[in-house]
Structure 1
């Protein structure tokens, strides 16, 4: 009897172990299928000084528990930024979400140079997406203040002297100069980098042909598709061209 009991007990324990293993595997498979968390930048282009939205994509939501933890970490101090909508710094970060089981966003206010080239990671339950927010010249704009734009357009006889300076901008500006309906080729804009921002300079001296003496000179400069300078000035032909 003792032998039979031992055999039965052994089979029972083996069955229990197999059942537990199957349950654990089932839970792991369900958890992996339930969420596929990653985050993406949802603001384009990013304007330094404005707000930036990083959206945590939750994926499948079936069977989601409303108490599942939502969390954002990282940034310049590598700390907790948001936990279930509660901000560690309400003047800098806040959450946007429609539903506890839906995608949720970290909004970074007054985005500055300390916020870029940093790691951010969002967590939903036990899943986490950890990525860097890199600076690039296609998606970020640093606008110059009015005091950081210097323009000089001077004319002597048929000579036109143009000097332009932009300070603390990003990326390097692109400029176009037009006299009348003629677009001029301009030399590459010179620049130097101060941390992540750029100081850019353009100087050009132009000889005006007499047939264009009664036209206008137009100068347009832009950061990506955002215009930062657009001026038109009449040529002083009555005094300069004879």
Structure 2
């Protein structure tokens, strides 16, 4: 008898569900928060057609394959995790999932109102879900004396797979200086970024920026002012430039003399040799005349002293 009554009740429920479905009354839920960010609150909205014209019936949210109830008519079984609000004017039941985590995705959610039921899985998708890094690991930047920049950054537990690029003084230096290694660990990704770049321009300072896009969120992982000096310190480079300038001037001044010597050598080698010999003799004669003049001055001073002594 009891079994027969249960069978009749299930048959009645099936018939009623079939009738309400064919009469144009429907129910369906969808992800209302896009993108759904892990660690934040996420909402599912259940739309109940012709809600105001129907008699009040029980509404409920359930999860997983075993239809585990979490809310009933606005009362939550786990208030710190789930809460439900019903907008009777538009016929929308909103389930709020607090602190959305990896345990809340890839599972079945069921919205029900009376005999109307919509039951489907909330599937992880790179177009609707995001997991931002909580912290940057191993974020290091180094610059050596050869103006070679080395950077290392690790983004842990992110979703979807990040896209990163690097600029130096607004110049794209992503390729071929970027090395990105991404591994999927469970549902999320861990990305290790390495950059080795040698600055070749004659610039001592540069703005080095590395940004990564994780879904719709752009994260600045490196924002450093690079100071570098090629081939030694600034003072050394200035001294080298001064010496180079002096040598250049000396070389330019010697060109006319070299041209004159070349012309004379072409015209008459004897005259050239005589000219060089005269220059040499004059150079020697100068010191000799100077020596004679010094000796004459000394003799005059000695003679003057003798005269004064006699007096």
Indicate the residue corresponding to 1:164 in structure 2: 153
> In the alignment, is residue 193 of structure 1 matched against residue 184 of structure 2?
yes
Tell me which structure has the larger Cα radius of gyration. Answer: 2
Shift of 1:159: 1.0
* 1:115 and 2:104 correspond: yes
Match of 2:120 among 127, 131, 156: 131
SS of residue in 2 equivalent to 1:114: helix
Change in 2 beyond 3 A, CA 1:154/1:94: same
Q: 1:60, CA displacement in angstroms? A: 2.8
One of 206, 224, 238 as aligned partner of 1:233: 224
Structure 1 contact 70–122 (Cα < 8 Å) conserved: yes
Q: In the TM superposition, what whole-angstrom CA distance separates every residue of 1:30-83 from its partner, at most 9, and x where no partner exists?
A: 653352111100001111111110110112335211x22211111487400111
How many residue pairs get aligned? The number is 216
- Matched with 1:219 is 210
Segments of 5+ residues of structure 2 without an aligned counterpart are: 1-14, 238-311
Residue in 1 that maps onto 2:198 = 207
How high is the TM-score relative to the length of structure 1?
0.80
Counterpart position of 2:166: 177
Partner SS state of residue 22, structure 2: helix
Structure 2 vs 1, CA of residues 78 and 68 (structure 1 numbering), >3 Å: closer, same or farther? closer
Shift of 1:177: 0.5
Of Structure 1 and Structure 2, the greater helix share is in: 2
Q: Over aligned residue pairs, what C-alpha RMSD do you find? A: 2.6
- From 12, 16, 22, the counterpart of 1:32: 22
- What residue in structure 1 maps to residue 141 of structure 2? 153
Structure 1: stretches of 5+ with no match in the other structure: 1-24
1:107 & 1:36 partners in 2: Cα distance?
22
Structure with the bigger RCO (C-alpha within 8 Å, sep 6+) is 1
Cα distance in structure 2, aligned partners of 1:81 and 1:26: 25
In 1: Cα distance, 2:102 partner to 2:200 partner? 46
- Residues 207 and 100 (structure 1), Cα distance of their counterparts in 2 relative to 1, 3 Å cut: same
- Greater fraction strand: 1
CA distance in 2, matches of 1:168, 1:26: 47
Whole-Å separation in 2 of the counterparts to 1:215 and 1:140: 36
Alignment of 1:59-74 (within 5 A): 59-61=49-51, 63-65=53-55, 67-74=56-63
Alignment of 1:1-150 (within 5 A): 29=19, 32-61=22-51, 63-65=53-55, 67-75=56-64, 78-99=67-88, 102-146=91-135, 148-150=136-138
Report the secondary structure of 2:133's partner residue.
coil
User: What's the TM-score once normalised by structure 2's chain length?
Assistant: 0.63
Q: Distance in 2 between matches of 1:150 and 1:107?
A: 36
Deviation of the 1:155 alpha carbon? 0.8
Q: 1:28 to 1:222 in 2, by over 3 A?
A: closer
Provide the rounded CA distance (Å) in 1 between the counterparts of 2:37 and 2:51: 33
Q: Cα deviations across residues 120-172 of structure 1 (Å, max 9, x unaligned)?
A: 010112111111101111211112222x4331111112211111101111122
